[in-house]
């Protein structure tokens, strides 16, 4: 696929658009707005659930398409028109649920406006970042706790599982081994060394970018995708301008067409200006 002029930019959030403090720098914001003013469509592609990503972009005043849940849900703007939804089948979700329960895993499940949290003492980062009241009042998001609550959401329909073991890598490796040999209709990815994400087969950031580009009438050779982790690889491989962050894993750097600066150095702004806007650095 021969790259052409960039018409769509798709950027991961954590470790990419967000700096080492979890914030979006003014430099990154200015570069995005310059790209938008030049007629280039900027989009976010994140593993975060839809309402979580949407409130974050709304707070920054960014009106842009959202590919959330690793391609599970795609909208044209924060809290705007949803153009694609891709949920797990009940059979595949139940398959993963049984394995995670047998492994005594800590995990979240994500349904429409609802988050299931396996541990009663656990909290999702959206609760800590935005507060439960804001999430409820501004996005309609509710949080539920325990295995029974997670099972109830699974029966309603979920987009993905997020499994975490922040301080026990051996436990996470054992959970991953059990999942790899126990699930047949789902795929595994990760957005960091302490988590596993369980997705519907065929759904990832690459499929999400492809769905959005097709809706917008843009060829994949005209898309730039920027990321740092394994869950970014499908979109980095699939587009004409696949860019790895300077802080990306070695595998992401190996498979990317280009490498930019780290998220601590505003690598997104650097890539946008250099490759999309052709501005000298």
For residue 162, give the CATH number of its domain.
Answer: 3.30.1240.10
**Quick check: 9 and 223 in contact, CB under 8 A?**
yes
- Look at the chain and count its residues: 281
Considering the domain architecture, whether residues 196 and 208 belong to the same structural domain is answered as: no
Residue 45 belongs to a domain: yes
Tell me, yes or no, whether 196 and 228 share the same domain. Answer: no
Residue 280 has what pLDDT? Answer: 47
Q: Cα–Cα distance between 251 and 213 in angstroms, integer?
A: 25
Chain segment 270-281, per-residue pLDDT in tens:
999 999 998 544
| Same domain as 169, residue 42 | no
How many structural domains are present in the chain? Answer: 2
Domain that holds residue 75: 8-86+204-276
pLDDT lower than 50: segments of the chain: 280-281
The answer as to whether 1 is a domain residue is no
Residues 78 and 18 in one domain: yes
Q: Rounded to 5 degrees, what are φ and ψ at 160? A: -165, 165
What's the pLDDT at 199? 97
Give the residue from 222, 198, 200, 199 showing the smallest Cα distance to 210.
222
- Nearest-angstrom CA–CA distance, 83 and 76: 7
Summarised one tens digit per residue, pLDDT across range 134-186 is: 999 999 999 999 999 999 999 999 999 999 998 888 999 999 999 999 998 89
Question: How many CB atoms sit inside 10 A of residue 111's CB?
Answer: 20
CATH assignment at residue 40: 3.40.50.1000
What is residue 279's predicted lDDT score, i.e. its pLDDT?
57
């Amino acid at each position: 696929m021969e790259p052409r002029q960039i018409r769509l930019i798709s950027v991961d959030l954590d470790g990419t658009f967000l700096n080492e403090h979890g914030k979006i720098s003014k430099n990154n914001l200015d570069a995005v707005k310059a790209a938008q003013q030049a007629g280039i469509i900027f989009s976010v592609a994140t593993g975060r659930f839809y309402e979580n990503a949407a409130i974050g972009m709304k707070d920054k005043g960014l009106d842009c398409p959202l590919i959330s849940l690793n391609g599970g849900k795609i909208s044209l703007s924060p809290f705007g028109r949803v153009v694609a939804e891709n949920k797990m089948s009940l059979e595949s979700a139940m398959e993963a649920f049984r394995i995670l329960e047998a492994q005594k895993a800590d995990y979240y499940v994500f349904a429409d406006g609802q988050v299931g949290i396996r541990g009663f003492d656990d909290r999702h980062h959206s609760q800590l970042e935005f507060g439960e009241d804001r999430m409820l009042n501004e996005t309609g998001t509710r949080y539920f706790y325990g295995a029974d609550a997670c099972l109830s959401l699974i029966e309603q329909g979920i987009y993905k599982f997020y499994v975490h073991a922040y301080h026990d890598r051996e436990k996470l490796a054992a959970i991953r081994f059990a999942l790899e040999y126990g699930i047949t209709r789902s795929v595994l990815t990760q957005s960091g060394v302490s988590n596993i994400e369980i997705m519907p087969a065929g759904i990832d950031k690459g499929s999400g970018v492809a769905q959005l580009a097709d809706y917008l009438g843009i060829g994949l050779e005209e898309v730039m995708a920027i990321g740092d982790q394994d869950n970014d690889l499908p979109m980095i491989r699939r587009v004409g301008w696949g860019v790895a962050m300077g802080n990306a894993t070695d595998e992401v750097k190996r498979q990317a067409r280009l490498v930019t600066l780290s998220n601590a150095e505003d690598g997104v702004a650097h890539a946008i200006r250099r490759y999309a806007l052709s501005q000298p650095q």
